[in-house]
Amino acid sequence: MNKHAIVAGNWKMYKTSVEGRNFVEDFVNLMLNIDDVEVIFCPPFSALFNIDVILKDAPYKLGAQNCHWENEGAFTGEISVNMLESCGVDYVILGHSERRHVFNETDEWINKKVKSVLNGGLKPILCIGETLDQRKSNETKDVLFHQLKEGLSGVEKLDEVVIAYEPVWAIGTGETATIEQVGEAHKWVRNILSDFYSRDIADDTSILYGGSVKPENAEELFGIKDVNGFLIGGASLKIDPFKEIILTVNKKLKG
Ligand code: 13P
């Protein structure tokens, strides 16, 4: 079972390169004592390089929010895994609901990206989650099954893969899924992974929750059995709430 937790901040399309660098510099200067929590900053592409320079001497990781599956080519506006790697990136968020629903990314594309990220030696954070309509019509379990099946097709080893369950209706809405809903969904995800791989592999996989995580609900959410950390949007854009959530997770890990 996981003995450590991951807290990732997905900044989406917020913060310029200078704002991002200043933010991370301020965060690093807090000198938090959080040995068991892996903190990942996922800024826009334009801030990656500047932040990598600061993270050289800090125990935090850098993540990107998307990538293309090809190494190079005539793909205007896209970025490849080796380009991200050259900016010091460790993780890549893939299949985020905004990519799926605003930019119409398909499971097939997401799967190609997952494999490309793994082949490039980086770690995918594969996002899955149902819409409100799908939840209302009791399709949540099926949706998660299909997104995992397609997204992980041809992926033989899971040890470098992180899964993030983000119910679409709870993202940026202030509406958090209930403890029961999160617990049930995470258990489904772990059982699906166990069926695809093995119980041990599923137990060792980090499954993050995302969707209106804030200091006020972090303790309760992290208390859920199959929640191994968070993927945070809004609350990762300011130092205080992000720090509070990380300290809460760290405290709960220490028991
Ligand atoms: P919020 O925390 O703003 O709801 O966003 C969640 C998210 O989409 C993280 O990837």
CA of 163 to the centre of ligand 1 (A): 14
> pLDDT per residue over 109-125, tens digit each?
999 999 999 999 999 99
Residue 1 pLDDT exceeds 60 = no
> pLDDT per residue over 136-155, tens digit each?
999 999 999 999 999 999 99
Q: Whose CA is nearest to atom 5 of ligand 1?
A: 233
Q: Rounded to two decimals, what is the model's pTM?
A: 0.97
Q: Please report the pLDDT score of residue 3 as a whole number.
A: 66
Higher pLDDT: 175 or 169? It is 169
Q: Which residues line ligand 1 (CB under 6 A)?
A: 10, 96, 166, 171-172, 210-213, 231-235
CATH number at residue 88: 3.20.20.70
**CA count, 13 A, side-chain hemisphere, 35:** 3
CA of 231 to the centre of ligand 1 (A): 7
Number of domains in the chain: 1
Catalytic residue among 98, 105, 130, 166: 166
Band the pLDDT of 173: cuts 50, 70, 90. confident
CA of 167 to the centre of ligand 1 (A): 10
Q: What is the share, in percent, of the chain residues with pLDDT greater than 70?
A: 99
Q: Please report the pLDDT score of residue 135 as a whole number.
A: 94
Return the ligand 1 atom nearest residue 236 CA: 2
> Is position 96 annotated as part of the catalytic site?
yes
> pLDDT per residue over 3-41, tens digit each?
689 999 999 999 999 999 999 999 999 999 998 999 999
Parent domain of 9: 5-253
